[in-house]
Amino acid sequence: SFFLLRLHFSYIRSSATTNTLRVIRKDQLHCRSLAISSSSTSRSSTERSIAWEGSKMECTHCSRPFPYVQITDYEIIKEAFVEKGDDFVGRPTNKVLVEAFSFAPNAGVVNSNGDNWREQRRVAISILRDFGMGKNLMEEQVRSSIAEYLEHLSSIEDKENVDMCWPVQVMVANIINEALFGYRYRHCECEPLMKYVEDFNSFLENLVDSKWMLLGLGFPFLSELPIIGWHVFGKFKASMRKINEYIVENVERALKDYNVEDEPTCFVHAYKQRMAQNAFLEYVSSFYQKIINNVRSIENYKANNVVQETTTTT
């Protein structure tokens, strides 16, 4: 079945009364200007569809200020994303998403763009392949995790009442954890993992149910307003801080006794090695260190408050 893909494109304000939307032609996929009247009537409209005669592509202007192009023809989609994929790898950026869910500006794979995204993706894929992603080594890690899972089930005395939820999650998490951080959780000692999963699930539930977040995605300036900004942006950033604390702790644990001259045993080790050789990765590292310092300062602030309250009470 055909699917809709949104490509954000720019407004070009040619005059006080005319906007130019840059659209993509079906035959050559090059930009063509299409002038659209911006009268007071059209400004009050929340949606405008423009059918391009002789083409199977639709250009739709919807929910200002975020116009987009819909491509609904298979051959056009194939040409855009397969044959000319490098021209269409960009993705829209949104202040709320970037500040709430990113470790650093234009960092990582999900929320980055341009050369930095290409380099991050290339390095990540290269490291994962080195550690056996899709090879026999990864298969052995899966088998080992399953063996520990079955051993844990065998150790349960009351086999008539077994909760399979957490054992299965720990089994899967151990495969990922070993590849990322170089260690596994014991099934009887996985409280940090359980807390992380609960925090993450709670974050997703609140995100899905939030009408404010939807408004914030369409109108990012709402995140700057008192009270409203907390519902649009603040509480989700606070939730992400808890999740980031877990990640920071695991990265610090992996790097605690690691020397960059040693052979890497996990993704964090290998990434640390690549940072010394790659300007893009080193750039992200500086922001990552700021995040760690920020997390640690918050923890110290909380600890100092507890000490002060205890002293006052005493």
- pLDDT of 204 > 70? The answer is yes
Report the pLDDT value the prediction gives residue 30, as an integer from 0 to 100.
Answer: 38
Report the pLDDT value the prediction gives residue 290, as an integer from 0 to 100.
Answer: 53
Summarize the confidence of residues 158-169 as an average pLDDT: 85
Report the pLDDT value the prediction gives residue 147, as an integer from 0 to 100.
Answer: 92
Summarize the confidence of residues 173-180 as an average pLDDT: 89
CA distance 300 to 54: 65
For residue 43, what are its two tokens? 């400004």
Report the pLDDT value the prediction gives residue 280, as an integer from 0 to 100.
Answer: 62
Q: Are 284 and 100 in contact (CB under 8 A)?
A: no
Strand order in the sheet with 18-24: 11-13, 18-24, 31-37
- pLDDT of 18 > 60? The answer is no
Q: Are 139 and 147 in contact (CB under 8 A)?
A: no
CA distance 199 to 169: 15
pLDDT tens digit sequence for 88-112: 777 777 666 676 676 666 777 777 7
User: Which of 42-56, 78-92, 101-115 has the least mean pLDDT?
Assistant: 42-56
- pLDDT of 200 > 80? The answer is yes
The 10 Å CB-count burial string (b at 16+, else e) for 13-35 is eeeeeebebbbbebeebeeeeee
Q: What are phi and psi of 190, to 5 degrees?
A: -125, 30
- pLDDT of 252 > 60? The answer is yes
**Any alpha helices (H) in 15-58, and if so which ranges?**
40-44
pTM of the full structure: 0.62
Report the pLDDT value the prediction gives residue 295, as an integer from 0 to 100.
Answer: 52
| 269 vs 86, more confident | 269
pLDDT tens digit sequence for 270-313: 888 888 777 666 655 554 555 555 555 545 544 444 334 433 33
pLDDT tens digit sequence for 138-162: 788 888 899 999 998 888 888 888 8
Report the pLDDT value the prediction gives residue 293, as an integer from 0 to 100.
Answer: 56
Report the pLDDT value the prediction gives residue 171, as an integer from 0 to 100.
Answer: 92
| 134 vs 200, more confident | 200
Average pLDDT, the chain: 68
Domain ranges of the chain: 5-88, 100-130+190-313
Q: Which of 34, 42, 29 is nearest to 59 (CA)?
A: 34
pLDDT tens digit sequence for 260-270: 888 888 888 88
Report the pLDDT value the prediction gives residue 56, as an integer from 0 to 100.
Answer: 37
Q: Is 182 left (phi over 0), alpha (psi -120 to 50) or beta?
A: left
Summarize the confidence of residues 10-38 as an average pLDDT: 35
| 149 vs 30, more confident | 149
| 232 vs 169, more confident | 169
CA distance 195 to 191: 6
- pLDDT of 45 > 80? The answer is no
